[in-house]
A and B are shown apart, each in its own frame.
Chain A
Amino acid sequence: MRRREAMTGLALLTLTAACGRPRESVRVVVIWSGSELSRFRSVLAPFVRGGVDVGVRSAGNDLDALIANRVARTAVPDVALIQSPAMVDAHRDRLTPLPPARGIPASWADLLARDGTNYGVWFKAAHKSLVWYRRDRLGGDQAATWDQWVDLCRAMAASGHPPLALGAADGWVLTDWFENALLSVDPEVYRALVGGAPLWTHPRVREALRRVGEVWAIPGAFPGGPRRALLIQFDQAVLDVFRHGRAAMLVGADFDHPVIEQFGSAPAGWFRFPCREGEKRSLIVGGDAAVLLNRHSDAGRELIAWLATPRAADIWARAGGFLSVNPAVKDYPPDLAALADQVRAETTTGQGPAFDLSDQLGGRLTGSDGRGTWKIFQDFFAGVAIHRTPLDVAVTRTCERLAAEQEASS
């Protein structure tokens, strides 16, 4: 009797668990978490009210691994917001062609097209060539060139005031520094590396590494020392500057803005990542594009179409920390509108946007916590800033490691 009851219960349980998907639903995976994730949810809200369930999951820094889920292809989501055009190449066989979105500059749209077929739709762009600073500590005009900026950092450090906060526990913070330096030093080498050329031991790569290494090696550059810098993430670095006043500046991106707004208590200003005289100012961009992983998901298509509209973009743009390459999006906070213009302007001219290099490297160089470029640059940082390795030695070691990992992947 008891057993029969138990079995009936079990059967019922299995039955209810098996048939539970009444509404149309779509599964989305993103890299955002925390406040960015809530912003994204507010972008989705009008779409959800339209009658589709949207399950959002943050893959953290392991989005790549999740999309390529070899464990369970059926566990792969319907839609993903990818942070790199390189992921189109990596997962092309799983992506569904999409109609190109309207209003997006051709140079951006091209990043997601392969052989004339469009695979994604840009939702969000990022400006990753900024130095945020406290207006109550610095004037924005003190660091017009790279050398002036380095002198300023040295002078502040020597006087016992750490100039820079650095969230080096996030490897991408360090690679962003390097990419900005390299793009100023030699845009051609930068683009060649994006294309997969084996140039990691090139003299210009060495020069860019030397440049950032020189700043990282300044004694007293970081509050609490470089060991602490390696343990904190970018959001804590923002707090270090704008809430605790432990440092005066940080190299960052437009998406630092909402963190400053929510948690900061000091007036914030920004200037562009500096370069030497005669060089072109770097502008590294990042971006998140929506791709469709499940070609049977109509709800997924509708969702991507919604994300491509200026109306959807405005919801997040209004809150800050969001740029769009679509000129129809206008609802930015006053201090960010200029950044959106820059991201668009520099791409409509010239050769197209310089998309974040490390986000486009595949194979063993793919960066994530504990691996790829992230780890290699953290080791470089530890070498020059903590262990006081001579800069040339550290640069050589890093270049060789990058080259070796590239070699091993091919």
Chain B
Amino acid sequence: MTAFHVRLIEDTRAPVRGHRSLPWRAVAYLLPATALVGAVVVLPLVWAVVVSFDDGGHGYGALWTDHGIRHAIVNSLVWLVLAPVVCAFGLFLAWQARGVRRLGVLAAPIAVSTLVTAVAFRLLFTPGGPADALGGRFLGSPGIWPVLGLAFAWQWAGLAVVVFRAGLGRVPRDLTRMAQAFGHGRRRRWSTVTLPALVPAGALVLIVALLAAARVFELVLITAPGSEQAEVDVAGVHWWRWRLDVAESTWAALSVVMFLCVAALALALLWGLSRQWPNPVEEQEEPPPGVRGRVVAVLAIAVWLVPPAVVLLTSLHTPEAAASGGWWSGGFGFGSYRDAFASGELLDALSNTAVRSVGAALLLVVIAVPAAYALARGGLSRRTGRILIAVTTVVAVVPPQTVIVELGRVFDDLRLLGAPTALTLVHTALAVPLAVLLLRAAFVSARPDPDRVRLLDPDSVLFAVARESWPAVLTVAVLEFVLVWNDFVVGFLLGGPEAGQVTFVLYDQTREFTTSSGVLAAGAVVSTVIPLTLVLGTGKWLVQGFTQGVRR
């Protein structure tokens, strides 16, 4: 019986000493990303800090004395806390169902816009809706909170499941066995072997979830009925509703405070990202799943399918049947789809959104790949690298609502706003930091064929590394496409009508929710098909891309 074995592995990483590439190259690689993020994200943030002290810091006092703002801040903090909870739930599911294949479908909701998610959960829990029969008035207080929480969990827990599942598969079994041999208990093995192996990918998922929590806007706007809007208010929505009634310095202070909260949480996670696993772990044979694992997996998938099923079935009813009977009764027909396309607006919006999404995805890759390469192998000193990564992490989680006010003012003066190009740039800039983090993790562990690289010029190392890490590059592009496609809040606040975002067309229908539910559901299905197909089609590589950095 062999408990562990030893292998020789050649270290093909870029040499650290002696051949360190010239720093100017790294600087040049970092420049486009820095300029874009600096202009779109950092400058407005700095300006917000300046404005917040306009009246001697009274703005900060008002955050506490204005009950509405205080309530919204507390709610926003609840959302931020929910992000790690959802990730932990994902880890729990992944652990229970370890060994089970085909769990990837759980992550599919990341391709669904928050707006469509909100529509699905409102349809599900509306009075007279399917879940209403279970008892209680869900959309009222306090039932609205679990509904919002479930909607968020539905969207993000699946991603955590998939990433953690991949991580669990890579936990070095040799080490586990060794720990076992030394008589360590289950808990000790979990904390010394399993958890450290999960941390890098887990931190990335957590940051994604955190960002989603900080972005919460349309989920609240659409899921909660008007009478509950004040109860579930969050900072962004509160600002949108009350901005004319409160001093600008107070809003700036709110932006600063919200940013600090998110940044503090993100920094706390940073140690996870910067940690590197000491030995490469080869693909291992996974133990077959147990009965319990299978049951958990089947149950999870069944639950996950409920919201999309509700939307799909609602859309297949005539508008009249959808408004009155719901998806479980008769009245099938394609009338809702016909109505959804009737004005031609949906079709226009689809093409507008597609152009913008592709543009932003390409631009992001062009800008983020060199920057990530510079951070991973640019020959920067360890200290500089660490500082840059810390800054990138903090910038990655800046909630868009935070910078949009000041950004709008600057763009307004330049008369850039409403221009689709400007919107594309903003989308790209908002995604650059996260993309850099993800790509860096992959680039660090990439092992390009040294013979092919050395003969060519230094730039070719970049391409070789990027080629080697293509799943991560693809992941970044696909995620950005999906993010821009599904965006509501950035376009809503900055874009104006001619942004022609597909989510706007859906939002137009939400004012009279019941009588619009058929058309709304049809629009939701149509708008979801494209990003969903993309994510499902590339799913295998997305998981690889997300977890590539863990290989080392």
Contacts and interface: CB of A to CB of B under 8 A. Distances in A.
Interface of A: 2-3, 6-7, 9-10, 13-14, 17-18, 20, 25, 27-29, 31-38, 41, 55-58, 60-62, 64-65, 68-77, 168-171, 224, 227-228, 230-236, 238-239, 243-244, 259, 262-263, 363-364, 368-371, 374-375, 378, 382, 409
Contact of A33 (B139, B323, B412, B516): B516
B2 interface: no
Interface of B: 126-128, 137, 139-140, 225-230, 233, 237, 240-245, 319-320, 323-324, 339, 342-343, 345, 355, 359, 362-363, 366, 404-405, 408-409, 411-412, 415-421, 424, 459, 463, 493-498, 500, 504, 507-516, 519
B47 to A, nearest CB: 13
Chain B residues touching A, majority SS: helix
Contacts of B419: 17-18
A160 to B, nearest CB: 19
A74 B496 contact: yes
A369 B510 CA distance: 13
Given A75-B418, A233-B225, A33 B137 contact: no
15 contacts: A7-B366, A13-B359, A32-B511, A33-B516, A34-B512, A37-B509, A58-B508, A62-B241, A65-B244, A72-B493, A76-B496, A236-B513, A259-B515, A262-B515, A371-B230
Given A34-B511, A171-B227, A68 B242 contact: no
Nearest to A227: B137
Contacts of B363: 10, 13
A72 B496 contact: yes
Closest 7 CB pairs of A and B: A370-B229, A75-B496, A71-B408, A57-B497, A33-B511, A169-B225, A369-B226
Nearest to B500: A55
A60 B320 CA distance: 22
Contact of A58 (B228, B409, B511): B511
Contacts, number: 197
B514 A232 contact: yes
A35 B514 CA distance: 12
B173 to A, nearest CB: 40
Given A55-B497, A371-B230, A235 B241 contact: no
Given A38-B342, A72-B494, A74-B417, 9 more contacts: A17-B419, A27-B498, A62-B241, A72-B496, A75-B496, A169-B225, A231-B227, A233-B225, A371-B241
Contact of B359 (A17, A76, A375): A17
Contact of A6 (B366, B424, B511): B366
Nearest to A27: B497
A273 B278 CA distance: 78
A232 B412 contact: no
A230 B224 CA distance: 11
A28 B498 CA distance: 10
Nearest to A28: B497
A349 to B, nearest CB: 34
B507 A41 contact: no
B480 to A, nearest CB: 14
A203 B256 CA distance: 45
Contact of A72 (B226, B408, B519): B408
A409 B244 CA distance: 10
B436 to A, nearest CB: 17
A204 B127 CA distance: 36
Contacts of A227: 137, 140
A72 B497 contact: no
Contacts of A235: 323, 512-515
Contacts of A228: 127, 137
Contacts of B417: 72-75
Contact of A65 (B243, B420, B459, B512): B243
A30 to B, nearest CB: 9
B243 A72 contact: no
Contacts of A76: 496
A263 B127 contact: no
B516 A231 contact: no
Given A55-B498, A77-B496, A169-B226, A239 B323 contact: yes
Given A17-B421, A369-B229, A72 B411 contact: yes
Contacts of A263: 320, 323-324, 515
B412 A73 contact: yes
B496 A27 contact: yes
A375 B230 contact: yes
Contacts of A70: 243-244, 405, 408
Contacts of B324: 239, 243-244, 263
B515 A363 contact: no
